[in-house]
Every structure is written in C-alpha cells, then in structure tokens.
Amino acid sequence: MLPRRGHSVAAAFAVIALAGYALFRFREAILTFYFLDDFWVMRDASRVHLDSILNLQELFWFGHAEFCLYRPLTTTVYSFLLQGLFGFDSSGHHAVQLLIFTANVLLVVAIVGRITESMAAAVGAGLLYLLAPGQAVNAFWLSAFTVSGTTVWVLLMLWCWLSLRGWSRVILCTGLQVCGLLASEHAIAAPVLCAIVALIRQEPWRRAMAVLPSAGLVGAYVITKLLYLPTTLVGAGVYRVTFDPLWIVQQLGQYVGSCFNLLTIMQVSATINTAIGAALLVTVPAASWAAFRGSHAARLVAGGVAMFAASLAPVLVLPSHFYDHYICTAALGIVIAVVGGAQLLTRQWRWAVVSLSLSLLVVDLSTGEKAWRDNNVFRLVVGGSGGSASWVAAVQRVNAEHHQPVEVLVPEAGPTRSIFLTGEAHTFLPEMPSRVGFYAPKQAPASPSKNSIVLKSGSRLRPGEALPYWEPRWDWLRRLARSRQEK
C-alpha cells in the first residue's frame, strides 16, 4: 500500500509541476494586447445584449466571416464571457486563454494515461505536447482560440470515450461533438480519433458503434459546408484548395517539424519535410501489419500517426494556410506514436519517454526557447499586438485631449484596417472617438477640417508601460507574468 500511495503522490506532484510549467512558460502572453482578428471578434461580442433568455440566440449569429468560418463558441461566445469578466483588460483575456491551454496539456496527460496505463509515460507525453513549438501561438493569440478552444472539446470527447460505456458514452460524446463543431471545423476529426482509439484498445465493434451519432453530425456538417463554400471565400480564391499528393505529404512533414524543437531549429528543407511526411504514411500500414500480428506498441504507433494526419485533414489541403498552431489537437497523435515507438525499442519505455521529453526541454532552455520565439507567426502576433496597442493609445489620447467630438484620421494600413475598419474598435471601446477616418499612407491631408485630427503614427509605449484598458485590479496578474525584458 505504501509504495502505491507514494507513487500516487509522485504522480500528482509531476502533474502539478507540468501545469505550473505550462503557465510559467507562456506567462508573457498576459502582457500582450489584441491583434488582427481579435478586434472584429470583440466587436461582434460587444453587440450582444442579453436582456432576456430569448436573446441568447445573438451569441450564435453569424459574425464577420459568416457561415464560411462559423465558430461561435470560440469567437463571439468566448469574447462575450471574457468581456463580462474583465472588460477590455487584455491581461485577463490572455490569462484565461493560458489556463485553457494548460487544461489541454492536462487532458493529454489523462488520455495518454488511460491508453498506456502509465502515469510516467503520460506526464512525459504531456511535456512533449507542451514543448511543441507550434503551441506558442495558441497561448499568445486570442484568435487562435478557434484552434485551441476546439481542441478542448475534442480532447474532452476522447477522454469521455475512454472513460465511459453504454448510453452515457453515446450521449456525452455526441454532445461534445456538437460543441466541437460550434467551436470550429477542426472538430470534424473527432469521430475518426475516437474510432482510432477504439482500434488501439481493441474494443468490440458494438462498443465502437457509439461513435455513429457523432459521425452523422460531422457528415451533415461537412456536406453543408461543401455546398456553401464554393459561393464564398473558396470560390473567390481566398481559401485555395489543392489535392496534390506531393504537396500534402510535404505539409504533413512540415507539421511534424512544428511538434519538435530540434526540427524547427534545424529549419529542414522542403525535400526533408516531404521525406518525413512520406515516412509517416509508410509507417501506418507497416505498424498496422505488426499490430495485426499482436503488437500493442505497433498499434500505438499506427494509431498515433493516423490521429496526427486525421486531425490535420481540414488544413492539409490549404497550400496558402500553413500555420504551426494547427497542431494543437494533432500533437496528441504524435506523442502517442512516440510512446509506441519507445515501447518497440525498450522495456524501459516509460522512462525513455520521460528522458526524451526532458532532453527536448534542455534543448529548449539552452537555446533561449528559439524554436518558438523565432517563429514568424509568433513574432507577428507579439509585435502586431504592440503595434495595435500603440494605435489604440494614440486615438484614445486624442479623444481625451479634446472636449468636443472630433474625427481622427489614420493611415489606411494593415494594423489600422484591422482595428478601425474591420474591427470598428472605436464603436465599442470606451473613451474612443465616435469617428475614425482613413487617408492613403504617406499622403496625410495638408489641411484637415477644423474638427479633424491627423495621426501619422501610434503612440510610443515604453517597456513596462501600461497598455490601454489595463485595470489596476489585475496588476497582480501582470506582476506574476513579468517578462524577461522587464527584469
């Protein structure tokens, strides 16, 4: 009894330490502002007025992207709840996102623990999942919640699939599938993932049939989207689709690189990415054959790789939309495959997984977290949020300095378009002018009207200076999240 109790205490400590490191690793997200799509999502949420229960439907109205990117749970609903809790204090919004991302890490631990019956391997897998360089954007960018927020529902569905039997499994998994589809189209892979887990665990086919209601929902959802999309963004060429096998294989290999910091730092070529993708595809039938002959480890390898590819199915065919943070769900498949590979190589596979994860942690720390800090999208999000803060602060300052209504003119560029044109931030953010106009960049009006103010740049914000709408009551969050630049 004592050894078991000691083992449970050690496992609990390891899980708590992993959660603490997840929060610590990306703590600087709490010090960032809003960026790009964040503004139109906040705009849509700010227009919801729940005067009665009948107005709940407003939370599920089509937003800026209409049905093409219909994701109410991870956009309007999410932002509405955050605004209710924190107003427009960006630190509070990012703190919640960081907590939800950490919940994803813990769900991965729970799922791998159920599949392998090893808490050591589960914690090691959770650390591998956390260390994937592509995860940083999910922690730092509020709009990436369409990915990480969908992952919550998919992982919860997998956990219920592993934990429940009978009608409770059918009902809960179907309900979570509905929530996943309302979060984003990335949830269409969930029934396939449940079926793969059933194959890994060699469940009787009658139990596996519990996935059919979820599969039916996904089928109806996909058909509806396919009927709608040709007339919208896809038809206009915004979301170009390709079924070129070579390109898809290359994309698959590139997403593997987003899961391991060593591959990211090495910046491998397109040829190597294609080779990695091809190796994954070859692995599935080879490992499946070994699994058919009775190898449990091979089932983990084949199932994990299949889960990785299935999770990425919605984005593998989009040649102009490669983003590392799409691995949020798919990384679960990679860590399961790693666990299976460790089982094939050594009897001490549990500690092999832990050793691998700790080795990658050392690489991460010794390189100054280069794998994710040097990522182009990550830099764009962090730098862009700073630029957004400077423009909002500048317009806000103009309004505060004038006692009568004025029109603020700003250059029509990427940041200002997303804030004041698409996002219409001046219509819902407090202490902002009611009118914001635009002029062509580098062509500021020589003689603006009496009630017009021309801004040529945003306000310069010093390191450590409060961002717009930061409230004193959340200063303790920012003290906990103090970045290395402020030390």
> What token pair was written down for 391?
């423009």
Name the strand (E) or helix (H) holding 17. helix 2-25
- Enumerate the domain spans of the chain: 11-26+58-374, 377-472
Q: 83-88: long-range contacts (C-beta < 8 A, 24 or more apart)? A: 83/42, 83/45, 83/46, 86/471, 86/474, 87/469, 87/471, 88/42, 88/429, 88/430, 88/468, 88/469
- Are 78 and 86 a contacting pair, CB within 8 Å? no
> What token pair was written down for 477?
């969050």
* Dist CA 189 CA 245 (whole Å): 20
* Dist CA 254 CA 250 (whole Å): 6
pLDDT of residue 231: 53
Count the neighbouring beta carbons within 10 Å of the beta carbon of residue 461.
17
Name the stretches of the chain with pLDDT < 50.
Answer: 1-2, 234-236, 485-487
- The contacts of residue 459 (CB under 8 Å, 6+ apart) are 390, 391, 393, 394, 397
- The contacts of residue 123 (CB under 8 Å, 6+ apart) are 11, 14, 15, 18, 109, 354
Nearest residue to 44 via CA among 68, 23, 21, 71:
71
* Dist CA 441 CA 460 (whole Å): 19
* Dist CA 1 CA 394 (whole Å): 65
* Dist CA 267 CA 238 (whole Å): 28
* Dist CA 47 CA 40 (whole Å): 11
DSSP state of 448: -
List beta partners, residue 453: 408
* Dist CA 123 CA 135 (whole Å): 17
> What token pair was written down for 253?
């290999």
